[in-house]
Amino acid sequence: MTLVVVGSIAFDAVKTPFGERERMLGGSAVHFSLAAGFFTDVRVVGPVGGDFGEEEYAVLTDRGVNVDDIERVEGGRTFFWRGEYEWNLNIRHTLDTQLNVFGEFEPKLSEASKRADMVFLANIQPDLQREVRAQCAGARLVGLDSMNLWIETARESLARTISEVDVVFFNDDELRMFTEQPTLMRAARQVMATGPRTVVVKQGEYGAALVTEEGFFALPAYPLETVLDPTGAGDCFAGGFLGYLDSLDGPADEPILRRAMTYGTVLASFNVEEFGTERVQRLTREEIDARYDELRSMTVLDAAAARG
């Protein structure tokens, strides 16, 4: 099974109340790949500049991620993002976004990537997301994430891209902003009316909700005592979710989607324990499975708890 992701490959500068980093590896496609790489074969599509070194490539290849479709622009600079979080880590301010090599990027996928059976259009300009989606016409499932910048500056293009995917991942503010609907359910239904079968609503430290045509499911976040940096949590969530789905044959029915929600939640929880990719780089499959079991026992409402 092969999962292709297009999204930002970045250097991030991040400040939270608990510390800061001036330049670290980041980007939506990077966070996604490091999480999904635990489950399936991942191929990353996107440009980097001459400033993207061996050390950065190695973070991806050490997880088994295929980097053949990363286009290196020798004279260019890698995408750069600077953000700062408030004491309430659900509130983040973008201080700088430099598209750099993404400004001129025209994705040309290798034959192996075009044959991918799943695709994730991670957060990046929606025209680029659509170009990649068009090149993977045979994919059995396509997911998408976005953010407020693209809702504000490229809304029509984003709406078109959304209409061509199966699963949309949005945080709840973005979902409300995009749909201009006051409740999560109405907003999710409005998105689904344009094409997607599934909407995943991320709610930061409060967890995530799954809306499908058949039902609804919600899971709290794993209750961490310490969170240092939430950057990339949403991408790791999508990486755990889609990586798990891609590792399975057959249709993603409701029970399987619930397990995917749980893997997504687990991967996101590890990501936020340290800055950038630091924690997920050291993560093991055993740690993932142990936390999955813990989360399951925390959230199960067994027969003994039935009303009556």
| Nearest residue to ligand AMP on Cβ basis | 26
Task: Tell which positions 6-25 bind ligand AMP, by CB under 6 A.
Answer: 8, 10, 12
SS (H, E, C) the chain: CEEEEECCCEEEEEEECCEEEEEEEECHHHHHHHHHCCCCEEEEEEEEECCCCHHHHHHHHCCCCECCCEEEECCCCCEEEEEEECCCCCCEEEEEEECHHHHHCCCCCCHHHHCCCEEEECCCCHHHHHHHHHHCCCCCEEEEECCHHHHHHCHHHHHHHHCCCCEEEEEHHHHHHHHCCCCHHHHHHHHHCCCCCEEEEECHHHCEEEEECCCEEEECCCCCCCCCCCCCHHHHHHHHHHHHHHCCCCCCCHHHHHHHHHHHHHHHHHHCCCCCCHHHHHCCHHHHHHHHHHHHHHHCCCHHHCCC
Residue with Cβ nearer ligand AMP (8 or 212): 8
**97 is a contact residue toward ligand AMP (CB under 6 A):** yes
Task: Tell which positions 173-232 bind ligand AMP, by CB under 6 A.
Answer: 231-232
**81 is a contact residue toward ligand AMP (CB under 6 A):** yes
Minimum distance, C-beta of residue 231 to ligand AMP, in the bound complex (Å): 5
Binding mask 114-133 for ligand AMP (x = CB under 6 A): ---------xx---------
Read off the amino acid at residue 165.
Answer: V
Task: Tell which positions 34-63 bind ligand AMP, by CB under 6 A.
Answer: none
Residue with Cβ nearer ligand AMP (28 or 269): 28
Which residues, in sequence order, are bridge partners of residue 118?
3, 141
Residue with Cβ nearer ligand AMP (7 or 196): 7
**235 is a contact residue toward ligand AMP (CB under 6 A):** yes
Minimum distance, C-beta of residue 4 to ligand AMP, in the bound complex (Å): 17
Residue with Cβ nearer ligand AMP (97 or 190): 97
Minimum distance, C-beta of residue 84 to ligand AMP, in the bound complex (Å): 12
Residue with Cβ nearer ligand AMP (58 or 290): 58
Q: Which of 191, 217, 219 is nearest to 204 (CA)?
A: 219
Minimum distance, C-beta of residue 253 to ligand AMP, in the bound complex (Å): 27
The Cα–Cα gap between 107 and 47 comes to 9
**27 is a contact residue toward ligand AMP (CB under 6 A):** yes
Residue with Cβ nearer ligand AMP (25 or 295): 25
Residue with Cβ nearer ligand AMP (185 or 224): 224
Minimum distance, C-beta of residue 236 to ligand AMP, in the bound complex (Å): 7
Which residues, in sequence order, are bridge partners of residue 211?
199, 216
Q: Please select the residue that binds ligand AMP; options are 28, 33, 198, 212, rule is CB under 6 A.
A: 28
Task: Tell which positions 154-173 bind ligand AMP, by CB under 6 A.
Answer: none
Residues of this chain that interact with ligand AMP (CB under 6 A) are 8, 10, 12, 26-28, 81, 97, 123-124, 147, 149, 231-235
